[in-house]
Amino acid sequence: MEPTSAPSSLENANNDQKKDLSYKKIQEFLSGLSYVSDEFASQDRRLPVHFQTSIAIHTPQSSSTTQPHISGFNEFRKILETSIIGVDEFEEEDLFSQRITGWIERYEFETLDIISEFYTSREINDKTMSHILMALGNANNYKTYNERLMTLKKYLRSPSSTIRYGAVIGILNLDDPKAIPALLKVLKEEPIPIIRGTIKSVINQLRETERK
């Protein structure tokens, strides 16, 4: 749901239905035990050119890089280095999500650029990016809300099934009915059964939110 003038429980906690979608099915999907075909599981697919940004990778050595960006960049790299993505323990995934959401809340808009930079330069794989997209929906930062929603909608059309799945869960975590039209559109084109089923579940959840 779109944020208003004051924080609500929307982005502070998830209900049991959300946890079921974002933990149980994620484990099945991202661990390779889901219904993903060998064709999708074996290919390291990247976003098409029109999804990529033209922003160059910023490093501490760049004279044009601002100090806040350097700090956000270095903290993001540290999060990646100290996190283990792909383990079967829910606690590790939850810890990674907490680190990413805290990072977004501190560095706000520049985090979206940094994420894009790391992904398009292949410094993070599809699986890690999928977890990051899920975390985008959990961040308690109202300034970046619309941009995060736009980012998740964009990645719904990624060639990578893993990325698409992460974007769907990220939208579930936002719990914003405004995303329903985008989900309905990609539902018609989605070839992976488990992703189609998850999209339908998320649409139903968002419609419940809309009726409240």
Domain ranges of the chain: 14-33+64-175
Q: 3-class secondary structure for the chain?
A: CCCCCCCCHHHCCCCHHHHHHHHHHHHHHHCCCCCCCHHHHHCCCCCCHHHCCCCCCCCCCCCCCCHHHHHHHHHHHHHHHHCCCCCCCHHHHHHHHHHHHHHHHHHCHHHHHHHHHHHHCCCCCHHHHHHHHHHHCCCCCCCCHHHHHHHHHHHCCCCCHHHHHHHHHHHHHHCCHHHHHHHHHHHCCCCCHHHHHHHHHHHHHHHHHHHC
Q: What is the pLDDT of residue 66?
A: 44
Tens-digit pLDDT profile for residues 115-166: 999 999 998 999 899 999 999 999 888 899 999 999 999 999 999 999 999 9
Q: pTM here?
A: 0.69
Tens-digit pLDDT profile for residues 79-99: 988 876 554 455 577 888 899
Q: What is the pLDDT of residue 31?
A: 55
